[in-house]
């Protein structure tokens, strides 16, 4: 009998310790923690004991290299088996683990590494080239540790395997509780990306929400398809399943519905957590593809990222023969707050009901609670363990999220008479594309660096595949004409400098970008132009 863990075990603890050593202490050392399938489906198993020893080595490595508690260590890697030991090792050593999408370009990297004062980055040789382009602007970055190369090292680079070869596997872990643990950057509608900080005791929310929503059994096989750089990938792709002591699958290959379903079938996946964009991509293939797979072993499918359209739910029931449970949370909340989950009946299109510990309300502009069926601001009573503890270096922005005793999510929603929550939109300009938040400001700032562009304004617009696409309105410099070649150049510029996620899906040439008298882009007017509707009050618009 494997001993159960109490909330006290989690509250006082260290995420790195709970996800490895504590599982070994429970007698799970020989159990598979992560079964990693590379792009060719070659299997590498990592047991809880392996994970514990290797993450101990990473913690020792950081200490021996002189990194101290509280310093920021970033992971800039594609999906790979090393991510788990590095993430947990950073936390065991008391450093703050920051995440970066492997698709980020130099500008996106500079924004995040510079703002955080990052001390060390774990990456691959080839990807390090993007950091090297901006390294002169990163004086605090002392080491770039390459997991795939010990040779031909450049400035500040070190080889991971060479370093680990001399490092012991025993490490005495301190319990950090309320100390900072994880740093995710998220986009707001204004300014640069903000560093969202969570503490070690956030693990209480990860595990309690995992139990309430996913309801895992001890022998379950779990697969969360989220990138580990995304909050879902860390909270539910690393922390929750490891803290629960179950086995999980990770796959490094690109999306292919046949391969993904064959993995579910072959590996006997019980719980599958993915994104609506993935499900919409699956819907584009002929239904016959799915007929050959036996998914009867799969107990539940869950979704996260952007609202799950009723069409996807119906398709899941008809084609995959499974209901799809939509869930809701944000980088700032750290863990699921609202969800469809068994045994409650799903209302297609609703994000479900608040979890048992969550106090949620819908407020009007004056902070008054709205009755059912009314659209207002989705707010949460603060105090849950995984609530973010700050935006790094942006105290005012952090404080602005808490008003009249509630955390304001920025989402607009309504609650029906049965307690189900329905997403209705955002009350800011952030663009949700494939479940990732894109800041219009970040895209605008980057585009203004292009020689051909005089001015730019960016909005999000509905898209049938990715929920919202990035739409860029550009004013070109004199004598520059919009051509298909220039449109492609603009897209590639954002893809390579910021991220493929932020790439405009549509580019519209205009003679003038509407701005108010303080010079701020009037996105409301751009949205009206895009939708062909009346822009309303234009009295604050700047004159020529």
Partner 1 sequence: MINIEDLSEVFRVVFDDEELSVTEENTANDIEGWDSMTHVLLLSAIEEKFGIEFNQKEVRKFQTVGDLLASVNGKLR
Q: Which of residues 38-97 bind partner 1 (CB under 8 A)?
A: 39-40, 78
Q: Which stretch binds partner 1 (CB under 8 A): 101-109, 154-162, 337-345, 532-540?
A: 101-109
CA dist 101 → 85, 87, 143, 242, 488 (Å): 18, 14, 19, 22, 23
Contact (Cβ atoms closer than 8 angstroms) between residue 79 and residue 228: yes
Q: How many residues bind partner 1 (CB under 8 A)?
A: 26
Q: Least CB distance from residue 318 to partner 1, whole Å?
A: 21
Q: Least CB distance from residue 103 to partner 1, whole Å?
A: 6
Tokens of 369: 């609670």
Q: Which stretch binds partner 1 (CB under 8 A): 100-108, 168-176, 232-240, 265-273?
A: 100-108
Q: Which lies closer to partner 1 via its Cβ, residue 285 or residue 402?
A: 285
Contact (Cβ atoms closer than 8 angstroms) between residue 141 and residue 112: no
Cα angle 254, 259, 260 (rounded to 5 degrees) comes to 80
Q: Which residues neighbour 161 within 8 Å (Cβ) at sequence distance 6 or greater?
A: 147, 150
Torsion 452-457-461-465 (CA) sign = positive
Q: Which lies closer to partner 1 via its Cβ, residue 385 or residue 504?
A: 504
Q: Which lies closer to partner 1 via its Cβ, residue 70 or residue 129?
A: 129
Q: Which lies closer to partner 1 via its Cβ, residue 141 or residue 501?
A: 501
Interaction between residue 151 and partner 1 (CB under 8 A): no
Q: Which stretch binds partner 1 (CB under 8 A): 25-33, 170-178, 268-276, 493-501?
A: 493-501
Q: Which of residues 296-325 bind partner 1 (CB under 8 A)?
A: none
541 CB-contact burial (10 Å; exposed 0-12 / middle 13-18 / buried 19+): middle
CA distance 469 to 345: 31
Q: Which stretch binds partner 1 (CB under 8 A): 66-74, 102-110, 205-213, 332-340?
A: 102-110
Cα angle 280, 285, 289 (rounded to 5 degrees) comes to 120
Interaction between residue 148 and partner 1 (CB under 8 A): no
For 528, what's the count of Cα atoms within 13 Å in the CB-facing half-sphere? 12
Q: Least CB distance from residue 37 to partner 1, whole Å?
A: 11
Q: At what angle do helices 106-116 and 484-497 cross, to 10 degrees?
A: 30
Interaction between residue 175 and partner 1 (CB under 8 A): no
Interaction between residue 250 and partner 1 (CB under 8 A): no
153 CB-contact burial (10 Å; exposed 0-12 / middle 13-18 / buried 19+): middle
Contact (Cβ atoms closer than 8 angstroms) between residue 225 and residue 476: no
Q: Least CB distance from residue 223 to partner 1, whole Å?
A: 18
Torsion 116-121-124-130 (CA) sign = positive
Choose which of 485, 519, 533, 537 interacts with partner 1 (CB under 8 A).
485
Q: Which stretch binds partner 1 (CB under 8 A): 90-98, 160-168, 247-255, 440-448?
A: 247-255
Q: Least CB distance from residue 255 to partner 1, whole Å?
A: 6
Q: Least CB distance from residue 101 to partner 1, whole Å?
A: 10
DSSP state of 541: B
Q: Which stretch binds partner 1 (CB under 8 A): 167-175, 301-309, 499-507, 525-533?
A: 499-507
Q: Which lies closer to partner 1 via its Cβ, residue 165 or residue 258?
A: 258
Q: Least CB distance from residue 390 to partner 1, whole Å?
A: 31
> 293 in helix, strand or coil?
coil
Interaction between residue 283 and partner 1 (CB under 8 A): no
Q: At what angle do helices 440-447 and 484-497 cross, to 10 degrees?
A: 120
Choose which of 373, 492, 517, 531 interacts with partner 1 (CB under 8 A).
492
CA distance 128 to 144: 8
Phi, psi of 523 (to 5 degrees): -65, -30
Choose which of 132, 164, 281, 508 interacts with partner 1 (CB under 8 A).
281
Q: Which stretch binds partner 1 (CB under 8 A): 172-180, 192-200, 480-488, 519-527?
A: 480-488
CA distance 155 to 189: 36
Choose which of 252, 283, 295, 541 interacts with partner 1 (CB under 8 A).
252
Q: Count H helices and E strands in the chain, helices first.
A: 19, 27
Q: Which of residues 426-465 bind partner 1 (CB under 8 A)?
A: 434
Interaction between residue 501 and partner 1 (CB under 8 A): yes
**Which H/E stretch holds residue 145?**
strand 143-146
Choose which of 127, 271, 335, 522 interacts with partner 1 (CB under 8 A).
127
Binding site for partner 1 (CB under 8 A): 39-40, 78, 102-103, 105, 126-127, 129, 252-255, 281, 285, 434, 484-485, 488, 491-492, 495-496, 500-501, 503
């Amino acid at each position: 009998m494997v001993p159960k863990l109490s909330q006290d075990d989690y509250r006082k603890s260290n995420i790195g310790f709970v996800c490895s050593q504590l599982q070994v202490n429970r007698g799970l050392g020989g159990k598979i923690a992560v079964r990693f399938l590379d792009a060719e489906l070659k299997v590498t198993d990592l047991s809880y004991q392996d994970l514990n020893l290797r993450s101990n080595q990473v913690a020792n490595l950081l200490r021996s290299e002189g990194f101290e508690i509280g310093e920021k260590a970033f992971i800039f890697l594609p999906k790979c088996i090393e991510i788990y030991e590095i993430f947990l090792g950073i936390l065991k050593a008391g450093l703050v683990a920051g995440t970066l999408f492997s698709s980020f370009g130099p500008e996106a990297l500079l924004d995040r590494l510079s703002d955080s004062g990052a001390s060390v980055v774990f990456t691959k040789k080839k990807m390090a080239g993007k950091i090297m382009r901006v390294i002169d602007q990163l004086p605090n970055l002392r080491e770039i540790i390459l997991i795939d190369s010990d040779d031909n090292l450049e400035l500040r680079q070190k080889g991971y395997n060479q370093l680990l070869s001399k490092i012991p596997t025993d490490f005495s872990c301190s319990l950090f509780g309320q100390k900072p643990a994880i740093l995710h950057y998220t986009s707001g509608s204004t300014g640069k990306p903000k560093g969202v900080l969570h503490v070690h005791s956030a693990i209480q929310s990860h595990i309690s929400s995992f139990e309430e929503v996913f309801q895992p059994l001890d022998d379950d096989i779990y697969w969360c398809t989220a990138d580990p750089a995304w909050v879902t990938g860390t909270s539910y792709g690393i922390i929750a399943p490891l803290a629960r002591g179950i086995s999980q699958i990770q796959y490094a290959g690109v999306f292919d519905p046949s391969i993904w379903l064959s993995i579910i079938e072959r590996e006997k996946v019980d719980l599958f957590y993915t994104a609506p964009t993935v499900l919409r991509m699956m819907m584009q293939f002929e239904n016959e593809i799915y007929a050959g797979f036996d998914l009867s072993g799969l107990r539940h499918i869950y979704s996260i990222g952007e609202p799950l359209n009723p069409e996807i739910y119906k398709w899941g029931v008809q084609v995959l023969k499974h209901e799809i449970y939509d869930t809701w949370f944000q980088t700032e909340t750290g863990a699921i707050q609202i969800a469809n989950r068994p045994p409650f009946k799903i209302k297609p299109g609703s994000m479900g009901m608040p979890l048992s510990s969550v106090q949620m309300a819908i407020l009007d502009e004056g902070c008054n609670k709205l009755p059912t069926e009314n659209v207002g601001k989705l707010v949460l009573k603060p105090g849950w363990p995984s609530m973010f503890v700050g935006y790094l270096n942006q105290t005012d922005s952090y404080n602005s999220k808490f008003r009249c005793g509630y955390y304001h999510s920025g989402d607009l929603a309504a609650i029906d008479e049965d307690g189900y929550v329905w997403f209705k939109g955002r009350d800011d300009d952030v663009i949700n594309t494939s479940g990732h938040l894109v800041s219009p400001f970040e895209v605008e700032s980057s585009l203004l660096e292009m020689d051909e562009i005089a001015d730019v304004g960016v909005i999000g617009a509905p898209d049938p595949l990715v929920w919202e696409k990035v739409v860029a309105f550009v004013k070109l410099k004199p004598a520059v004409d919009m051509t298909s070649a220039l449109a492609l150049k603009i897209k590639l510029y954002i893809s390579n400098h910021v991220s493929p996620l932020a790439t405009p899906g549509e580019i519209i040439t205009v003679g003038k970008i509407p701005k108010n008298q303080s010079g701020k882009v009037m996105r409301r007017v751009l949205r009206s132009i895009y939708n062909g509707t009346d822009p309303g009050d234009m009295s604050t618009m700047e004159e020529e």
